[in-house]
Amino acid sequence: MGPKLADSVDGLRAAGNQSFRNGQFAEATVLYSRALRTLQAQGCSNPEEESILFSNRAACHLKDGNCRDCIKDCTSALALIPFSMKPLLRRASAYEALEKYPLAYVDYKTVLQIDDSVASALEGINRMTRALVDSLGPEWRLKLPSIPLVPVTAQKRWDSLPLEYHKESAKSKFRETTSAKSRVSSSGDVERARVLKEEGNELVKKGNHKKAIEKYSESLSFSDMESATYSNRALCHLALKQYKEAVRDCTEALKLDGKNVKAFYRRAQAYKALKDYQSSFEDISSLLQLEPRNGPAQKLQQEVNQSLN
């Protein structure tokens, strides 16, 4: 195996990376396993390093066609650092190879919540959708496991990932820096989005805000041109006291429809809860310009004024 390796975790991981690049996947597996044992023997907590080692070893298993061990290692990596991109993508690939299409679909969908421009996840969703329609029929969505909601904090992690996981086209970069109004969906996607939004609305009526968020999120993955879907999801975030997420959704809603009264009101509520009274006051003022006699907005304005004074 060449010269004797230092027993440090960094040295073993670097050697494993080199073996992987050389196509020596079995050797890389051994090196990553040694690094994991060394790290765990040190007794100090380093979940990020441990997660990377599990994920790297999973990549070796995947290359060798050992899908079950790949899934096991990816699951261990995600238990340490939830919503990490690489283990999600690798586990999705392994599930797909084992024809566990519902589970693969969930992982690809989770990746797209983190970053909706990941080409391999977009392609994977398309393949899984076709496979699920063929195997489970038109009601396939009802038979899926629940798709986890990715928190806003995790949605920023992909910024430091290698370029290989992102679309490298100018179109993608342009889309990331322009208004949501530039996004287009097929008529079939728009219809699916509408149905999912209605399902979310029914869940809101039943007080199931967490499940409603999942429906609205899935709706937006098909078409993100509907301002009301964002403001409806914001209502759920407010109910769950997820105020920053509510602000974010209301902002997206207002990009699509600058006269969305509900978005102004809900963002004002969220800002008030975050003690950003000035921003709350500005949103209420904008709302009252549109609807001067809006009673709830007038009441909220009085409350915010008291906090400002």
182-215 confidence digits (pLDDT tens): 344 455 677 888 888 999 999 999 999 999 999 9
SS3 content of the chain, % helix, strand, coil (to 5): 75, 0, 25
For residue 116, count other CB atoms closer than 10 A to its CB: 18
The pTM of this model reads: 0.52
Instruction: Record the tokens describing residue 74, joined without a space.
Output: 């990816």
Kindly tell me if the per-residue pLDDT of 262 is higher than 50: yes
Instruction: Record the tokens describing residue 248, joined without a space.
Output: 């974010």
**pLDDT score recorded for residue 181:** 37
Instruction: Record the tokens describing residue 42, joined without a space.
Output: 């040190």
Q: What band does 166 get if pLDDT is binned at 50, 70 and 90?
A: very low
Report, as an integer, the average pLDDT of 277-300. Answer: 92
Please, which contacts does 196-205 make with residues 24 or more away whose CB atoms are closer than 8 Å? Answer: 196/222, 197/226, 197/228, 197/229, 197/232, 200/229, 200/232, 200/233, 201/232, 204/232, 204/235, 204/236
CB 128 within 8 Å of CB 141:
no
CB 90 within 8 Å of CB 59:
yes
Four-residue CA torsion sign, 135, 203, 149, 231: positive
Q: Which domains does the chain have, with CATH numbers?
A: 8-155 (1.25.40.10), 187-308 (1.25.40.10)
For residue 125, count other CB atoms closer than 10 A to its CB: 19
Report, as an integer, the average pLDDT of 93-99. Answer: 92
Least confident stretch, 85-89, 113-117, 298-302: 113-117
Instruction: Give the SS3 label for residue 82.
Output: coil
62-71 per-position pLDDT tens digit: 998 999 999 9
